[in-house]
């Protein structure tokens, strides 16, 4: 049973609070509080138990990657509740953006032959399929584009014409996208999940799996753009071939997810991304 209050969560875990819980923003899929304890400030998060279990799994994977990026420490966990170290925010300077670029590059340097993950997780509240595939194009088609397009179709977020166009794009991947090793990716790396803290740039709220590194980079650019210092550190002069087209492809999945969750104008975003890709 999920604790009903952050105080109850801390009490069950044997952690004493010296202040009342302070509600924080970022509660779209749950509730988040900052609480001061004798051991320091902690962040208490209440949300869907399966989602928090997957988040904890992702945090452990990011920490084990040892990239130099700050990863919140898991202090304790209960069904539907996760307690982590609190990372005070800081205004990033050029060095912080460079450190973020170097750290993400180091994360993506952890590669495997198999695309996917040992468990499914969530993109926001949407179930995210991570069944392993040796070919990244098959993974992108069978675990990302088509399942989410089918969800959108069933929910009447898209019509059959748009669904057929997206299917054509998904089935044309082998005609232009080379297969490649699978990098460890954060999996939900929009700007809100990059947290510049007093300790350095941090990654929060992961939905990790292994896939093309462009999955992280494209999402970073979907609702804004990182600082130039980030790109200089990340690319280190090696911008990938065909980046605009790859960016359009890997923005399709988060655009479809937003279409599924919110509807409305995201259908046009899906059409605009598809227009840049073979098969559309």
Domain-embedded: residue 150: yes
The active-site residue, picked from 66, 135, 159, 188, is 188
Write down which residue in 38, 61, 85 finishes a domain: 85
In terms of Cβ atoms closer than 10 Å to its own Cβ (0-12, 13-18, 19+), residue 223 is exposed
Q: Is the pLDDT of residue 121 over 70?
A: yes
In this structure, the answer to whether residues 199 and 72 fall within a common structural domain is: no
Q: Crossing angle of helices 160-171/266-274, nearest 10°?
A: 40
Is 188 one of the annotated active-site residues of the chain?
A: yes
Domain-embedded: residue 114: yes
**pLDDT number for residue 238:** 72
Contact of 218 with 187, CB cutoff 8 Å: no
In this structure, the answer to whether residues 126 and 254 fall within a common structural domain is: yes
Other C-beta atoms lying within 10 Å of the C-beta of residue 108 = 23
Q: Residue 141 — pLDDT band, cuts 50, 70, 90? A: very high
CA–CA separation, 204 vs 212, rounded Å?
Answer: 20
Other C-beta atoms lying within 10 Å of the C-beta of residue 9 = 27
Domain-embedded: residue 158: yes
Domain that holds residue 150: 94-274
- How far from 141 is each of 7, 19, 166, 174, CA to CA, in Å? 44, 49, 10, 10
Domain-embedded: residue 280: no
**pLDDT number for residue 111:** 98
Q: What is the number of domains present in the chain?
A: 2
Structure tokens at 26: 């970022």
Write down which residue in 25, 56, 85 finishes a domain: 85
In this structure, the answer to whether residues 49 and 156 fall within a common structural domain is: no
Contact of 166 with 276, CB cutoff 8 Å: no
In terms of Cβ atoms closer than 10 Å to its own Cβ (0-12, 13-18, 19+), residue 41 is middle
In this structure, the answer to whether residues 15 and 40 fall within a common structural domain is: yes
Mean pLDDT of 54-66: 98
Write down which residue in 54, 85, 116 finishes a domain: 85
Q: What percent of the chain has pLDDT over 90?
A: 90
Mean pLDDT, all residues of the chain:
95
In this structure, the answer to whether residues 135 and 24 fall within a common structural domain is: no
In this structure, the answer to whether residues 67 and 100 fall within a common structural domain is: no
Give the list of residues 6+ apart from residue 238 with CB closer than 8 angstroms, or none.
none
Mean pLDDT of 37-42: 94
Span 238-280, pLDDT tens digits: 777 799 999 999 999 999 999 999 998 899 999 999 999 998 8
Q: What percent of the chain has pLDDT over 70?
A: 99
Q: Is the pLDDT of residue 27 over 60?
A: no
Query: Which CATH number do you get for residue 174?
Result: 3.90.1200.10
Give the list of residues 6+ apart from residue 272 with CB closer than 8 angstroms, or none.
none
Return the DSSP state at 116. Answer: B
Contact of 206 with 174, CB cutoff 8 Å: no
**pLDDT number for residue 177:** 96
CA–CA separation, 260 vs 266, rounded Å?
Answer: 9
Following CA atoms 264, 268, 271, 276 in sequence, which dihedral angle do they give, to the nearest 10 degrees?
A: -140
**pLDDT number for residue 26:** 63
Residue in the block written with tokens 């539907």: 80
Span 156-210, pLDDT tens digits: 999 999 999 999 999 999 999 999 999 999 999 999 999 999 999 999 999 999 9
Span 84-101, pLDDT tens digits: 999 999 999 999 999 999
Domain-embedded: residue 161: yes
In this structure, the answer to whether residues 117 and 255 fall within a common structural domain is: yes
Other C-beta atoms lying within 10 Å of the C-beta of residue 178 = 10
Structure tokens at 45: 């998060």
In this structure, the answer to whether residues 75 and 116 fall within a common structural domain is: no
Query: Which CATH number do you get for residue 73?
Result: 3.30.200.20
**pLDDT number for residue 224:** 86
In this structure, the answer to whether residues 74 and 199 fall within a common structural domain is: no
Domain-embedded: residue 23: yes
Closest to 48 (Cα-Cα) out of 16, 94, 2, 83: 2
In this structure, the answer to whether residues 80 and 110 fall within a common structural domain is: no
Domain-embedded: residue 228: yes
Domain-embedded: residue 1: no
In this structure, the answer to whether residues 77 and 21 fall within a common structural domain is: yes
**pLDDT number for residue 236:** 80
In this structure, the answer to whether residues 233 and 180 fall within a common structural domain is: yes
């Amino acid at each position: 049973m999920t604790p009903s209050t952050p105080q109850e969560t801390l009490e069950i875990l044997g952690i004493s609070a010296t202040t009342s819980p302070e509600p924080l923003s970022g509660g779209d899929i749950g509730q988040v509080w900052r609480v001061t304890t004798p051991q320091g400030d902690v962040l208490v998060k209440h949300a869907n138990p399966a989602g928090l279990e997957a988040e904890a799994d992702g945090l452990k994977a990011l920490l084990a990657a040892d990239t130099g990026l700050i990863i919140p420490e898991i202090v304790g966990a209960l069904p539907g509740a996760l307690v982590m170290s609190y990372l005070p925010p800081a205004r990033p300077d050029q060095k912080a953006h460079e450190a973020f670029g170097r750290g993400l590059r180091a994360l993506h340097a952890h590669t495997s032959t198999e695309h996917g993950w040992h468990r499914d997780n969530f993109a926001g509240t949407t179930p995210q399929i991570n069944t392993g595939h040796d070919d990244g194009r098959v993974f992108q088609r069978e675990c990302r584009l088509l399942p989410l397009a089918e969800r959108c179709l069933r929910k009447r977020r898209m019509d059959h014409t748009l669904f057929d166009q997206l299917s054509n794009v998904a089935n044309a991947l082998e005609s232009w996208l080379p297969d490649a090793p699978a990098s460890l990716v954060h999996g939900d790396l929009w700007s809100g999940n990059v947290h510049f803290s007093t300790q350095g740039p941090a990654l929060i709220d992961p939905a990790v799996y292994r896939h093309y590194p462009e999955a992280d980079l494209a999402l970073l650019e979907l609702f804004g753009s990182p600082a130039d210092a980030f790109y200089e550190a990340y690319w280190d002069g090696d911008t990938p071939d065909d980046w605009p087209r790859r960016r359009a492809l890997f923005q399709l999945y988060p655009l479809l997810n937003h279409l599924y969750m919110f509807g409305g104008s995201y259908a046009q975003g899906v059409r605009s991304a598809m227009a840049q890709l073979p098969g559309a």
